[in-house]
Amino acid sequence: MSSLKKFIANKLYPLALYVPKQKSIPEKMIDIPTAWKGLELIIEDILIHFNIGRESCIEFGVEFGYSSVVFSNYFQKVKGVDIFIGDEHTEHKGDHFEQTKKSLEQFKNIELFKSDYQDWIKQDDQQYDFAHVDIVHNYKETYECGFWAAKHSKCCIFHDTESFPSVKRAVYDIAKNTGKKAYNYPFHNGLGIIV
């Protein structure tokens, strides 16, 4: 995103700055190219800062599993939901469900589901400790999936608040409409945090 667009997004959708107290490297990681790299260092800090439970995590937007593996370090159970065919913003297009399943099989606490978030949220009424939204970066989809995720978790994070103004806007609106508080960590493409 250009710096002018970033400036405008910050003015229109102001979010409190998240400043991690300490960074830690998760024990288990996988070495794959991803725009998520760098954020693994602040996940434990977020969990400690907001006193988040360590039982359950749900992720929308797994792709090749980088973020899922990061979460598998901190939660007893991680569910990963994805259509596994990519979207208009991903580089990789085409079915990568079997490939992702194979490379994550050693992480026994991750369960993958090939599903559109729209179908998933109609049938799941569980509450989770933590949620992550990193699907197609349009406002409508991020708002719809993120609203459900914020309502069904104590803490919900959103990737790409800096690279996509539509994601920042969705985070701002979800926090407003759920009565929760939103933060932004403006590095590694940006991470929105709703608690």
Ligand X SMILES: C[S@@+](CC[C@H](N)C(=O)[O-])C[C@H]1O[C@@H](n2cnc3c(N)ncnc32)[C@H](O)[C@@H]1O
Q: With respect to ligand X, which residue has the nearer C-beta, 135 or 155?
A: 135
Q: Is 83 in the site for ligand X (CB under 6 A)?
A: yes
Q: With respect to ligand X, which residue has the nearer C-beta, 136 or 156?
A: 136
Per-residue 3-state assignment (H helix, E strand, C coil) for 41-69: HHHHHHHHHCCCCCCEEEEECCCCCHHHH
- How many residues bind ligand X (CB under 6 A)? The answer is 22
Amino acid in position 173: D
Strand arrangement of the beta sheet that strand 128-133 belongs to? 16-17, 182-185, 191-194, 153-159, 128-133, 56-60, 77-82, 110-114
x/- track of binding to ligand X for residues 120-159 (CB under 6 A): --------------xxx----x------------------
| Choices 16-24, 81-89, 123-131, 161-169; region in contact with ligand X by CB under 6 A | 81-89
CB of 148 to ligand X, least distance (A): 12
Among the listed residues 182, 195, 128, the one whose alpha carbon sits nearest the alpha carbon of residue 10: 182
Select from 45, 116, 124, 173 the one that contacts ligand X (CB under 6 A). 116
